[in-house]
């Protein structure tokens, strides 16, 4: 089977070396195959190959577009901080209610019980949920990667200490820790909450990265780097982590979507984002009783959560397929 | 599972008595870069009791060809032409027919016995599986038959072995089990895909002896796929040479190996290092110029290396080894797998600490250095590893890979580094255009050149080369060796050259050290050790290495058998009892519903 794998261009060695005299050296320039393959003449870096495969993944690509639209609309419509948006209504003001507050052209998402514009509210909630999700994603990825890489590379007591620490974080129920710490941290605003959530959700990534590093550190190019006298820090940052980037990016996207859900659960339980501000989870919590009578108050934030989480998951799927050459499928 | 669209045209009887025949076989793979023609219309026949060797370098399509006979190609393959196994046309069979054919008519011996056997099933389970699937024997009967098979392939205490797992057996015994599985259903033809590539040379000789007696005694046809010309000379009746999916030459072993007609075959044979012909085959090695009072480049003194294992006694990988490499000298370190040669190489690089004894580079003991001094010492050693696929960081372009040692030691600026890299690319005969390419775009030989260039970046006094050509095709190996000798002459580095290939050592090394189980068996100048070995182990090692010349190889084989007899050991062969019954698959209606009944009755011959 090895020959079969090697003979496909996706594999490592497609072009058989023929001549004894010198084609081994010049074969690269000469090519020499009967039908030159497109792409053979150009240099694709690993990154470019990954991008190529990612953009061919339809679900991932459309999810990326949808998520992009959600982000742009959420931040431009009602503006952020002092910058005003293009949406005329404010999420804090109460307007005259039209009918029972069902969606109209003026208020496309309807109005809540007090007459607030629900579109503006949902956009504000989406902003907060997105900020928390991405901040948590970044924090947990950095922490997890660092801990996993150190544990995997140094082995010995460093690994024991770090991995037992990871175990401790894993055995404590996440929701309980997040609720207790979140309650305290929400005093510092949304960034405090994001920080706390990030600091309790790095465990799975740390384990993944450690596993990856454990296998990478045995590869010959790491040995070669050690033999040359490369410092451990340089080996980790230059040789090991760039090769684990697939695992890291994929896991980061998945941690973003789980952070959205975690924030939603916390806010739903009342431990997350506190009034007067709002997030998608808080909105659902506030209007859970309205599900039967005024369903739009429940459905809009619900759909938003669903859309964001699905998009991020699909993007993660697409990235995983793109980074894993074994996922290299052909179109038949 | 495979898309076989072979038209079963032509009369089915036209192939004569061949047990395996390819007629105008083509295989095309659909890939994301377009179609790849792996096999381009070849004709080949294997007759009963005949060994046909299919030789070619990696990517020539030889394994793909053999896989078509089993109908085991991946989904994206398209097969054209006709493949006959016995009187069956492979393309005309459905899934059930194919499964019936595999094992019964055609069996496979794989390259790597450890991965060919399932590690969680016992040997007995795996051997009886085929027997039961094909309805030859069941239950106790199958176990008895499995024990008989193990006895046939020369595994002692077969009943006990049946209950063992693959990891409890040695590599050679595992390959014997794989062969026993292949002959379990008495196939007409066995496809052996590089059956000895993963084995040590003495074990290889045994397995080849076994395969030879197998085809004599069972009259089975063997399609032997290999890149090793020595194995071809040892085994083959006929040879077919493949190049890029085409058959360029076929003929008897004597014709092809001694009087090759095609240009490619000639070049291929010229590239094979020949044990016994000494240096000069691929350029001369410079004589050692070091004066005796000079410090040795590498000096190992009573070196002991131990691996500490959790919950098990420590394993002594290297035991009391003393050797030295003078400046400008190439010392060949040979031994079979597990002899500790790679461990010694890693210790010489300072990657593994010595348990006792010392490893000194130019008079400086590795064990006594820390931090900056250690880093400075490492500057003077270069390293080349075996596997070119894993020794280059896939994320760095070639230019960065070669410049990396300069960056690590903070030598030169951007400009001078670039100049040095281009100079080295010229030295290893790579085009300068590879500077911005990534390792995955290069072939194995090119990557190994990059590896060597990186090792030479800092102009080291000592180069440690751990099997640098073992993963390469023979013509690529010849080029790399040629370049290596030229570089050694130019840069005058000392080299510890680790290899299991005696022929390669013979043409490179000034001195040879033979290792067995972590101890030195014999060391001395090359001519003495390789041409007039004193120790029994060395004699055996040299006798087992095949040479690519059928007549000479026959003589060597007989000499080896004589040596084994003198040492009171058996020559490996298939033990077939007088009352050995060839298995006849049961004619049950369940198994043979796809029109296979016709051939079953004659049981193979």
Q: Is the pLDDT of residue A11 over 50?
A: no
Q: What is the nearest CA distance from B385 to chain A, expressed in angstroms?
A: 7
Closest CA to B471 of A194, A307, A120, A13: A13
Angle at A286 (CA atoms; ends A283, A292), nearest 5 degrees: 100
How many contacts, defined by CB atoms under 8 Å, are there between A and B?
A: 197
3-class DSSP state of A320: helix
Chain A residue closest in CA terms to B476? A24
**Residue B463 confidence (pLDDT):** 92
Query: Which of the residues A37, A221, A226, A332 would you substitute to probe the B interface, choosing the one with the greatest number of B C-beta atoms within 10 Å?
Result: A221
Q: Is A221 in contact with B443 (Cβ distance < 8 A)?
A: no
Beta-ladder partners of B225: B54, B193
Tens digits of residue pLDDT in A266-320: 888 877 777 777 888 888 888 877 777 888 888 888 899 899 989 998 998 888 7
Q: Let me know if A194 is exposed, middle or buried by CB neighbors in 10 A (0-12, 13-18, 19+).
A: buried
Six-digit token pair at A144?
A: 């997890």
Tens digits of residue pLDDT in A95-129: 777 777 777 777 888 887 777 888 888 898 898 88
SS3 readout for A244-268: HHHHHHHHHHHHHHHHHHHHHHHHH
Dihedral sign, CA of A106, A107, A113, A118?
A: negative
Dihedral sign, CA of B529, B532, B535, B540?
A: positive
> How many angstroms from the chain centroid is the CA of residue B75?
27
Q: What is the nearest CA distance from B158 to chain A, expressed in angstroms?
A: 30
Q: Let me know if A233 is exposed, middle or buried by CB neighbors in 10 A (0-12, 13-18, 19+).
A: exposed
Closest CA to A152 of A219, A98, A102: A219
3-class DSSP state of A311: helix
**Residue A179 confidence (pLDDT):** 81
Which residue matches tokens 């054919």? B101
Omega within 30 of 0 (cis) for the link into A276: yes
Those of residues 105-144 in B touching chain A at CB distance below 8 A are 111
**Residue A153 confidence (pLDDT):** 92
Tens digits of residue pLDDT in A203-257: 989 999 999 999 998 888 999 998 888 899 999 998 999 888 888 888 888 888 8
Closest CA to A259 of A324, A190, A322, A189: A190
- Give ipTM to 2 decimals: 0.76
Rounded Cα–Cα distance for residues A216 and A219 (Å):
5
Which residue matches tokens 């982590």? A241
Cβ contacts of A106 within 8 Å, gap of 6 or more: A98
- φ/ψ of B305, rounded to 5, equals -125, 130
Those of residues 515-574 in B touching chain A at CB distance below 8 A are none
Rounded Cα–Cα distance for residues B220 and B225 (Å):
16
Q: In this structure, are residues A111 and A120 in contact, taking their beta carbons and an 8 Å threshold?
A: no
Six-digit token pair at A290?
A: 């309205």
SS3 readout for B388-421: CCCCCCCCCCHHHHHHHHHHHCCCCCHHHHHHHH
Query: Which of the residues B75, B440, B453, B471 would you substitute to probe the A interface, choosing the one with the greatest number of A C-beta atoms within 10 Å?
Result: B440
CATH 1.10.3720.10 fits A49-327, yes or no: yes
Rounded Cα–Cα distance for residues B13 and A246 (Å):
55
**Residue A89 confidence (pLDDT):** 79
Chain A residue closest in CA terms to B351? A227
Rounded Cα–Cα distance for residues B101 and B110 (Å):
18
More confident residue, B108 or A85: B108
Rounded Cα–Cα distance for residues B123 and A80 (Å):
69
- List of chain B residues whose C-beta atoms are within 8 Å of the C-beta of residue A2: 63, 111
- List of chain A residues whose C-beta atoms are within 8 Å of the C-beta of residue B350: 227
Chain A residue closest in CA terms to B379? A228
**Residue A194 confidence (pLDDT):** 86
Picking from B30, B111, B346, the nearest residue to A330 by CB comes out as B30
Chain B residue closest in CA terms to A5? B59
Q: In this structure, are residues B334 and B496 in contact, taking their beta carbons and an 8 Å threshold?
A: no
Q: How far is CA B87 from CA B20, B52, B146, B185, B598, in A?
A: 9, 19, 28, 17, 9
Rounded Cα–Cα distance for residues B197 and B195 (Å):
6
Q: Which residues of chain B have pLDDT under 70?
A: 1-16, 280, 283-284, 286, 289-293, 578-579, 581, 583-605
* H-helix or E-strand spanning residue B68: helix B62-70
- How many other C-beta atoms are found inside a 10 Å radius of the C-beta of residue B419? 11
Closest CA to B203 of B227, B170, B248, B230: B170
**Domains recognised in chain B with CATH numbers:** 298-380+458-547 (3.40.50.300)
- List of chain B residues whose C-beta atoms are within 8 Å of the C-beta of residue A28: 430-431, 433-434, 437, 441-443, 446
Q: Is B33 in contact with A328 (Cβ distance < 8 A)?
A: no
Q: Is B67 in contact with A46 (Cβ distance < 8 A)?
A: no
SS3 readout for B84-107: EECCEEHHHCCHHHHHHHHHHCEE
Q: How far is CA B378 from CA A46, B370, B416, B466, in A?
A: 30, 11, 21, 17
Rounded Cα–Cα distance for residues B290 and B293 (Å):
8
Q: In this structure, are residues B507 and B282 in contact, taking their beta carbons and an 8 Å threshold?
A: yes
Tens digits of residue pLDDT in B445-488: 889 999 999 999 998 989 999 988 888 888 888 888 888 888 88
Q: Is B351 in contact with A223 (Cβ distance < 8 A)?
A: yes
Chain A residue closest in CA terms to B374? A229
- List of chain A residues whose C-beta atoms are within 8 Å of the C-beta of residue B379: 228-229
Q: Which ranges of B386-501 would DSSP assign to H, the alpha helix? A: 398-408, 414-427, 444-456, 474-491
SS3 readout for B189-218: EEEEECCCCCCCHHHHHHHHHHHHHHHHHH
Q: Is A25 in contact with B449 (Cβ distance < 8 A)?
A: yes
Q: What is the overall mean pLDDT for chain A?
A: 78
């Amino acid at each position: 089977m090895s020959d079969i794998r090697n003979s496909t261009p996706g594999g490592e060695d497609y072009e058989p070396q023929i001549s004894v005299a010198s084609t081994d050296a010049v074969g690269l320039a000469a090519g020499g195959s009967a039908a030159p393959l497109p792409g053979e003449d150009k240099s694709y870096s690993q990154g470019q190959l990954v991008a190529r495969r990612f953009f061919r993944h339809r679900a991932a690509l459309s999810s990326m577009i949808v998520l992009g639209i959600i982000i742009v609309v959420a931040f431009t419509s009602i503006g952020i901080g002092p910058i005003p948006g293009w949406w005329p209504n404010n999420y804090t003001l109460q307007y005259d209610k039209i009918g029972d507050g069902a969606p109209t052209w003026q208020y496309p998402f309807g109005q809540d019980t007090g007459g607030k514009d629900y579109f503006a509210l949902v956009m504000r909630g989406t902003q907060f949920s997105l900020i928390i999700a991405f901040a948590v994603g970044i924090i947990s990825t950095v922490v997890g990667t660092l801990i996993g890489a150190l544990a995997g590379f140094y082995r010995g007591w460093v690994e024991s200490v770090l991995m037992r620490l990871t175990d401790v974080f894993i055995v404590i129920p996440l929701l309980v820790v997040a609720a207790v710490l979140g309650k305290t941290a929400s005093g510092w605003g949304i960034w405090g909450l994001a920080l706390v959530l990030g600091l309790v959700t790095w465990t799975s990534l740390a384990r993944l990265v450690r596993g990856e590093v454990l296998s990478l550190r045995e590869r010959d190019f790491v040995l070669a780097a050690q033999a040359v006298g490369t410092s451990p820090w340089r080996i980790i940052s230059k040789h090991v982590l760039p090769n684990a980037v697939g695992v890291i990016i994929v896991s980061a996207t998945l941690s973003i979507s789980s952070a959205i859900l975690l924030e939603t659960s916390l806010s739903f339980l009342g431990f997350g984002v506190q009034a007067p501000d709002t997030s998608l989870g808080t909105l659902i919590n506030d209007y859970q009783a309205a599900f039967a009578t005024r369903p739009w108050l429940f459905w809009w934030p619900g759909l938003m959560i669903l859309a964001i989480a699905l998009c991020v998951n699909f993007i993660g799927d697409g990235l995983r397929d793109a980074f894993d050459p074994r996922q290299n499928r052909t179109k038949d | 599972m495979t898309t076989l669209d072979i038209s079963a045209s032509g009369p089915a009887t036209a192939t004569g008595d061949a047990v395996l025949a390819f007629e105008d076989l083509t295989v095309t793979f659909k890939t994301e870069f377009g179609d790849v023609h792996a096999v381009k219309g070849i004709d080949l026949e294997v007759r009963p009791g005949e060994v046909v060797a299919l030789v070619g370098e990696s990517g020539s399509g030889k394994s793909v060809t053999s896989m078509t006979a089993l109908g085991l190609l991946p989904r994206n393959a398209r097969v054209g032409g006709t493949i006959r196994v016995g009187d069956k046309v492979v393309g005309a069979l459905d899934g059930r027919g194919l499964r019936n054919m595999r094992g019964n008519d055609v069996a496979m011996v794989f390259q790597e016995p450890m991965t060919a056997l399932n590690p969680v099933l016992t040997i007995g389970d795996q051997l009886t599986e085929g027997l039961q699937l094909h309805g030859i024997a069941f239950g106790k009967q199958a176990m008895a038959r499995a024990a008989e098979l193990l006895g046939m392939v020369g595994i002692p205490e077969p009943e006990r072995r049946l209950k063992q797992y693959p990891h409890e057996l040695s590599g050679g015994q595992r390959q014997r089990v794989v062969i026993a599985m292949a002959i379990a259903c008495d196939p007409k033809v066995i496809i052996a895909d590089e059956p000895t590539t993963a084995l040590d040379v003495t074990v290889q000789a045994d397995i080849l002896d076994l395969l030879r007696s197998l085809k004599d005694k069972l009259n089975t046809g063997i399609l032997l796929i290999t890149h090793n010309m020595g194995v071809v000379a040892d085994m083959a009746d006929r040879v077919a040479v493949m190049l890029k999916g085409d058959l360029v030459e076929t003929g008897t072993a004597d014709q092809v190996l001694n009087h090759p007609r095609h240009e490619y075959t000639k070049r291929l044979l010229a590239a094979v290092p020949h044990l016994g012909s000494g240096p000069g085959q691929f350029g001369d090695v410079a004589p050692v110029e070091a004066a005796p009072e000079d410090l040795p480049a590498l000096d190992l003194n009573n070196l002991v290396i131990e691996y500490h294992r959790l919950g098990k006694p420590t394993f002594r990988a290297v035991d009391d080894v003393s050797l030295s490499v003078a400046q400008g000298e190439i010392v060949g370190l040979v031994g079979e797998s597990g002899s500790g040669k790679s461990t010694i190489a890693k210790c010489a690089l300072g990657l593994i600490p010595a348990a006792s004894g010392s490893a000194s580079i130019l008079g400086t003991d590795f064990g006594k250095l820390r931090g900056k001094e250690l880093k400075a010492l490492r500057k003077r050693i270069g390293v080349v590893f075996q596997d070119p696929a894993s020794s280059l960081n896939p994320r760095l372009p070639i230019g960065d890979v070669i410049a990396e040692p300069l960056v690590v030691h903070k030598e030169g600026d951007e400009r001078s580094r670039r100049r040095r890299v281009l100079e080295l690319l010229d030295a290893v005969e790579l085009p300068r255009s590879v500077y911005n390419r990534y390792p995955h775009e290069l072939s194995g030989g090119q990557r190994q050149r990059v590896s060597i260039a990186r090792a030479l970046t800092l102009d080291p006094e000592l180069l440690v080369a751990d099997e640098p050509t073992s993963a390469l095709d023979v013509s690529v190996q010849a080029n790399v060796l040629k370049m290596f000798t030229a570089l050694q002459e130019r840069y005058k580095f000392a080299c510890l050259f680790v290899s299991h290939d005696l022929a390669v050592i013979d043409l490179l090394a000034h001195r040879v050290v033979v290792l067995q189980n972590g101890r030195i068996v014999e060391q001395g100048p090359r001519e003495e050790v390789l041409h007039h070995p004193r120790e029994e182990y060395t004699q055996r090692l040299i006798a087992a290495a095949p040479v690519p010349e059928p007549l000479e190889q026959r003589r060597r084989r007989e000499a080896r058998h004589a040596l084994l007899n003198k040492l009171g050991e058996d020559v490996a062969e298939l033990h077939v009892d007088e009352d050995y019954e060839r298995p006849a698959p049961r004619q049950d209606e369940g198994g043979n519903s796809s029109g296979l009944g016709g051939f079953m009755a004659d049981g193979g011959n």
